[in-house]
Amino acid sequence: MLECIELFAGAGGLSLGLKRAKIKVRVAVDCEADCQATYVKNQRGVEFIVERVQNLTRTDLLGYIDCPANLVLAGGPPCQLFSKLNRSPAEITDEVRSYIRLVRSLRPLYVVFENVPAIKRRSIAWTFVVESLVKAGYQVQWKVVRCDSLGIPQRRDRMIVLASRVEVQLPEASVQEPCTVRDAIGHFPECDASIPNHISMSLSDKNLSRIRSIKAGENSRSKTIAFCDSYSRMSWDRPAPTITTKCISFSNGRFGHPEYDRAITVREAANLQSFPEDYEFVGSLWSCARQVGNAVPPVLGEMLGKAIMHSYRKYRQGREVA
């Protein structure tokens, strides 16, 4: 049986996907208490450590693992430094260094490293990750995955690095028709407090006037309206834009509901990230939005988990024959 430690676990999107693929997640780590509250509310049977990954050692983690030889180490270190918007010089963050340090000390069978595609342009950090994994004895594969090609109703690109001590193949996308905003959130009412996390932020009079002037799929810059920034509504019949930590704010430009005069709710954002509707987020409105925006879509986690499980079964069969 494959066992998993997830670092930088957040609200548990990657864990949920790996568990769907029949990988046993034993322990999750994150430094945010609200992430712990969300995680343990939705995913029972997993130990959650509230701590910075930089402070953890091999000994702290291996006590949760029955068979270290069958370990999957997974996680996505915080990616703000590597985003397109960041213009500061490239550098290797403490979180990335700590991730690689734990790879070296734990020596897992598989390593999943998830981040933004722009990390590859940050040559110092990217070279450090890849070369460190190769020097540690891993076969390293990487690709930029388009989430909408997996049936996730969102135009979100993620860099996936899959390193292993045995043969494994990153899977190809198999979805032909993208899932749309309508598919994901078209059934939700305008407001219903009985639905977990389905509460919207109120709009100022100016923003209410702005959103009422924009039709589904349009933005303010396509109209003769003198706004300094671009405000827009999502289109019903296309995937959503990338869900960010500010996804519940109309003022941040891209998250106007296609029909209702408001931004999307945390619940709707979670659906657009492919979380199940009974997955409840804990914390303030902004904390919940941050958890959703930072999450790995569970469907992406499941795809990776299935690839790992396929590899592991072949590995086990080969050992039995030998």
Q: pLDDT tens across 102-140, in order?
A: 999 999 999 999 999 988 886 788 999 999 999 999 999
pLDDT value of position 35 = 98
User: Which pLDDT score is estimated for 228?
Assistant: 44
Answer whether residue 82 shows pLDDT above 70.
no
Residue 71's nearest CA partner among 129, 6, 137 is 6
What are the C-alpha distances in Å from 130 to residues 84, 113, 137, 140, 191? 20, 10, 11, 7, 46
Strand partners, 219: 232
Question: For the chain, what are the domain ranges?
Answer: 3-177+297-321
- Pick the range with the lowest mean pLDDT from 87-96, 132-141, 286-295: 87-96
Measured in residues, the chain has a length of 322
Average pLDDT over every residue of 9-35: 97
CB neighbours of 260 closer than 8 A, spacing ≥ 6? Answer: 190, 200
User: Is there a catalytic annotation at residue 31?
Assistant: no
pLDDT tens-digit readout, 193-223: 899 999 999 999 999 999 999 999 888 765 5
State the fold for domain 3-177+297-321: Rossmann fold (3.40.50)
Closest-CA residue to 23 (of 320, 307, 319, 317): 307
Which tens digit of pLDDT belongs to each residue from 307-320?
999 999 999 887 65
Q: Active-site residue among 4, 31, 67, 79?
A: 79
Q: Which residue has the higher pLDDT, 318 or 298?
A: 298
Q: What is the pLDDT of residue 235?
A: 96
What is d(CA 153, CA 183) in angstroms, rounded to the nearest whole number?
Answer: 8
- Tell me the average pLDDT across 160-165: 96
